[in-house]
Amino acid sequence: MVSRPSETALRETVEAWIADDPDPRSRGELQELVARLPDEAALGALADRFSGTLQFGTAGLRGPLRAGPNGMNRAVVGRAAAGLARYLDDVGAEGPVVIGYDARHGSREFALDTAQIVAGTGRTALLMPRELPTPVLAYAVGALDAAAGVMVTASHNPPQDNGYKVYLGGPLGLNAQIVPPADAEISDRIAAISSLADVPRSDDYRQVDEAIYDQFLQAAADAVAAESPREVSVVSTALHGVGGETLQAAFERAGFRAPTPVTHQQRPNPEFPGLAFPNPEEPGVMDDVLALAVSQGADLAVANDPDADRCAVAAPMREGWRPLRGDELGVLLADHLMRRGERGTYATTIVSSSMLGALCERRGVPYAATLTGFKWIVRAFEQTGQPLRFGYEEAIGYAVDPASVNDKDGISAALVAAGLAATLKAEGSSIQARLDELYAELGTYLTAQISVRVEDLSIIAGTMARLRAEPPSRLRDWQVVTDDLQERTDAIIIRGDGVRVVVRPSGTEPKLKAYLEVVQPPSGDVVADADAAAARMQQLRAAVQQLVT
């Protein structure tokens, strides 16, 4: 039972927040809970909403839509916008702030609040013309010489969430997502906002001309080689997100036939009906587009996540139609670009397959393995001295044209994947056949992932602490050593002969993740190698499952 003094203190904190909250709906949500005190359920709900502040980090903000400092709402977003604006002023960043939004609940309101607050500082605020994919906003940051960009989206999170992603423009931020120390410096300025009511606002913001969307489509189309084949049959799903129209338009602009969409998932719907987690990586999420591919006799199936910065691809494989693993598509796209003669740095992350490194070594191409996230991939040139030409992460994110979009882009990635499929089809080959050729050359690299979703984040911290204090010396029959990356990031790498495991907390969800890799040397029989790799992966998975749970 909560004591009266604690209840009184909580009530005072809540009422102070209500007085500064610009949104009548969230004020009403809190007032209703306050009116129910000392009811235990109301007390618990208020304590949860005021247990802390939704933290601003390199991923910006992301959390459940609810009132109070520990949720996504107009008061929290307003403070974030004011803190960002102060940061830009303090570092002398020149240029406008461009603001985009998707079709989730609250997205347009959050974008409008941001535009008003940025305009209130005297800086030009540019609001994207309508709900659009994240890659369009990322493109606009560079194309409009912006000091910063804001994208209101929770990407592939559940329907009840929303988020706030920040890009920094020009030499300050490379038109990419923020990295330390900018995140902490922005967070400090957010914390210094004592009263949102005192933050000036202005309606003198401008709407970005629709021409920016046309420019993005052209840049995406140009990512496909002009002379490459275009004869390929594609089906697609937008998963009720904002990518459907853009994907269709981009395919037509690039000279492909527009994909046949999963009709009931094509238009934006913030409820994401039938999809508890609208992420193409989740089991069952691509079932409808796979069924459509089979019925249409398609060559390729494409699924974008709700803000279309990620791209999943499925194709007819040896075992039938299935989604490609992110690492499989990443290596295929890299190989395709290399075969086109595209030079520069090819990069992935420490949790992705090491096969890209082997491919780059064989082809004599600069390679970098970075920390997790595209904010680091786009800075891979710092390791090699060569501009980034291609980057990918195993979580189905691909940068096939970083000169235009210095972030993952599910639209241009889908186009280049279609170009790859069309080229292989014209050669009488296939996705599976090209993968087999690469496996025969480099060995079979098989990757998998274990995700442990938790309600209590302390479980993740406890597991990481245990693994650091007592690192394993064996995993089944493998002798292993452990590398602790704590000085760089919260991750450990466990290595053995032909096996590798990376364990880290998720940066965007309440999950502990283990990334597994098995490498089977080539024997001359790729089917036998695949079977051997699968058997070893099954053993590794069982050992790691026991280790992290």
3-state secondary structure 261-323: ECHHHCCCCCCCCCCCCCCCCCCCCCHHHHHHHHHHCCCEEEEECCCCCCEEEEEEECCEEEE
Inter-residue contact 155 to 307 (CB < 8 Å): yes
Inter-residue contact 123 to 97 (CB < 8 Å): yes
Q: What are φ and ψ of residue 315, in 5° steps?
A: -150, 165
For the record, the structure tokens of 247 come out as: 């994907």
For the record, the structure tokens of 17 come out as: 């927040």
Query: Residues 83, 86, 92, CA angle at the centre, nearest 5°?
Result: 140
For this structure, is 107 an active site residue? Answer: no
Whole-angstrom Cα distance, residue 402 to residue 504? 27
User: What is the maximum alpha-carbon separation in the chain?
Assistant: 76
Whole-angstrom Cα distance, residue 471 to residue 482? 6
Q: What are φ and ψ of residue 307, in 5° steps?
A: -105, 5
Inter-residue contact 130 to 210 (CB < 8 Å): no
Catalytic residue among 155, 187, 233, 404: 155
3-state secondary structure 370-435: ECCCHHHHCCCHHHHCCCEEEEEECCCEEECCCCCCCCCCHHHHHHHHHHHHHHHHHCCCCHHHHH
Q: Which residues are catalytic?
A: 155
